[in-house]
Structure 1
Amino acid sequence: MKYQLQRIRNKTRQMRRNWNQYRDIGIPRRQAALSTIGGGALTAHTSLGIKKIVDGVVVEERTEVRDKVVTDAFVAFVVDQLQAESSEIGDFKYHQCGLGVTAEAAGDTGIETDTGITPVAGTQTEGATANIYKSVATMTMDATEAITEHVLMSQSGAGTLMDRTVFSAINVVSGNQIEFTFQITLSSGG
């Protein structure tokens, strides 16, 4: 019995270390717990950093962490790309913001309510580690609005939607800017 209790304590300590590792990169505790139990599965976690910029000064900053909002269309696209010989996978860099408030869903195909601002091609880089894709774009607002959603797509107009994130309103006026930093962390299992 004493041996079993010690094993449980050791496993608990190991899980806490794993949770802290996930927390440091913005992954919710629930998902970290599942990651320490499971294995063998490819998992994806998304986050969206948002900075409101007024006259060149960051006046508001937040990070939205979401799970399970990578769209069905993106997953199908990845499978298709694994079967093809093309470089379209690198096209997921177009940021667009909107006014929609409906919760994200895997079946989403685009922005819910467009602001009329042309999507911006983000700068694509690797994140803090080799398994993180990062795209950063700054959008200049052209009206007084409450921005509540962001999407990342493969084309400026239509295209395949990778991710849609809904967040509490960021109130802007013409000339304000919002910098969006989208990250997707892909983790191998095993």
Structure 2
Amino acid sequence: MSIFNRLKNATIGFNRGLLGLSTIIAHTCLTIRKRADEFSEWEPPIRIVKDKVVTTEFVDFIVDQLQTETSEFGDFKYHQCGLGVTAENVTDSGIETDTGISPATGTQTETDHDTYKSVATMTMDATEAITEHVIMSQSGAGTCMDRTVFSAINVVSGNQIEFTFEISFTAGG
């Protein structure tokens, strides 16, 4: 290969990385509803829709699974909420500030051929301002697919929050 072709290929590779063409970008939607208790009506939902990158941890996980699939691949259904306010980052690996509430196991569905959905309800055990949500592959220290930060949802003990997480992927760019 000539020096010209080597430089051309290096430039193409650099530009792809620079332009984000080698990045996994996903359309995510987090819908949050709150109610006073399990017998109350739900308040109007809050929707947070973003076109953003998923975590580096999740991308690494996908690559590993393409090499050696484990049953964990279908386990991204554990929802956790927290009190953290730091902006989302590709390096996120879980909840920033834990509430102490155990993660909830979501119900998984496919809403369209390219959209994954998980829905979970969590019952609060204290007066707090919930400001973040993650979806993980395990109830404990699993792989973090996504972390979303939002305006505070003030809760008291006994309130319930329903989290609906959706992620869509587009083939072909």
TM score, norm. by length of structure 1: 0.75
- What SS class does the counterpart of residue 43 from structure 2 fall into? strand
Decide which of 121, 140, 158 is 2:141's aligned counterpart: 158
Q: Alignment partner for residue 142 of structure 1, among 116, 125, 130? A: 125
RMSD (Å) for aligned C-alpha atoms: 1.9
Count residues with an aligned counterpart. 152
Q: What is the rounded CA distance, in whole Å, between the counterparts of 1:148 and 1:84 in structure 2?
A: 36
Q: Quote the Cα distance in structure 2 between the aligned partners of 1:107 and 1:47.
A: 20
Distance 1:90 1:174 in 2: 32
What SS is found at the alignment partner of 2:86? coil
**Among 84, 95, 98, the residue aligned to 2:68:** 84
1:65 to 43, 49, 62: 49
| TM alignment of 1:14-163, pairs within 5 A | 43-55=25-37, 56-127=40-111, 129-163=112-146
Ranges in structure 1 where 5+ consecutive residues have no aligned partner: 1-38
Which string of whole-angstrom CA distances, capped at 9 and with x for unpartnered residues, describes residues 121-158 of structure 1? Answer: 1000012x111000000000000000000000011110
**Is the 1:47–1:65 Cα contact (8 Å) retained in structure 2?**
yes
Listed one character per residue, the Cα deviations across residues 84-118 of structure 1 (whole Å, up to 9, x for unaligned) are: 13222101110000000000000011100000000
C-alpha deviations, 1:28-52, integer Å up to 9, x for none?
Answer: xxxxxxxxxxx99864211101001
CA distance in 1, matches of 2:23, 2:98: 35
Decide which structure has greater helix share.
1
One-letter amino acid matched to 1:51? R
Unaligned runs of 5+ in 2: 1-20
Residue 172 of structure 1 corresponds to: 155
Partners of 1:42 and 1:105 lie apart in 2 by: 14
- Judge conservation of contact 1:52–1:179 (CA < 8 Å) in 2: yes
**Residue 172 of structure 2 aligns to a residue in which SS?**
coil
* Residue pair 2:25, 2:53 contacting (<8 A) in 1 also: no
Identity %: 70
